[in-house]
Amino acid sequence: MRHNSIKNFGIVLSLYCLLILLTGCATLTSSREKEIEPLDVATLLRFKDVPAPVGFNVLDNESFAFQNKDTRVALLKYIGPKSADSVVAFYKDNMPLYDWNPINVIEYDRRVLTYENKYENCTVSVEPRGKNKSIVTISISPKSQPMSVEGYKESEKKSKK
């Protein structure tokens, strides 16, 4: 009799553990599968045509910007309380609204998005910092003109003299 009650207890315990294991695994999702929270554009921007998500603050000691009537060059670094996935989605959605054309996207741990407009290139780098914090680095530079093979060969000859 005692042997049957131990056996029944073992079966019930095994079923209970199996039930907990199955329900626990069913509720786990990876960070990529979660719904990405849409972000709003901050009202105070460093440049009117380069958006930043609401809640992101410029790291002044790690940023610089130069602008005159002909050109601008900048390296702006922001930190904010949003996941890297949300920030990447923000830039994919918003940069075209500011007349930036996507060139390429590299997504791994650090995500790099490259854009261009008529006169400039813009690279947006997003790095996760902890569970729900990201660092965004935006670099802006004038477009360079491609050099022809002949022009490259001429510049090489001049530099060797």
43-95 per-position pLDDT tens digit:
555 788 999 999 999 999 999 998 898 899 999 999 999 999 999 999 999 99
pLDDT over threshold 90, residue 110: yes
> Does residue 51 fall inside a structural domain?
no
> Does residue 41 fall inside a structural domain?
no
For residue 119, give its domain range. 57-142
- Please count the structural domains in the chain: 1
> Does residue 49 fall inside a structural domain?
no
> Does residue 37 fall inside a structural domain?
no
Question: Which pLDDT score, from 0 to 100, does residue 86 have?
Answer: 95
> Does residue 155 fall inside a structural domain?
no
> Does residue 20 fall inside a structural domain?
no
Domain CATH code at residue 107:
3.30.530.20
Residue 117's alpha-carbon distances to 11, 104, 143, in angstroms, are 67, 13, 9
> Does residue 48 fall inside a structural domain?
no
> Does residue 34 fall inside a structural domain?
no
Average pLDDT, the chain: 80
The confidence band for 1, taking pLDDT boundaries of 50, 70 and 90, is low
pTM over 0.85, yes/no: no
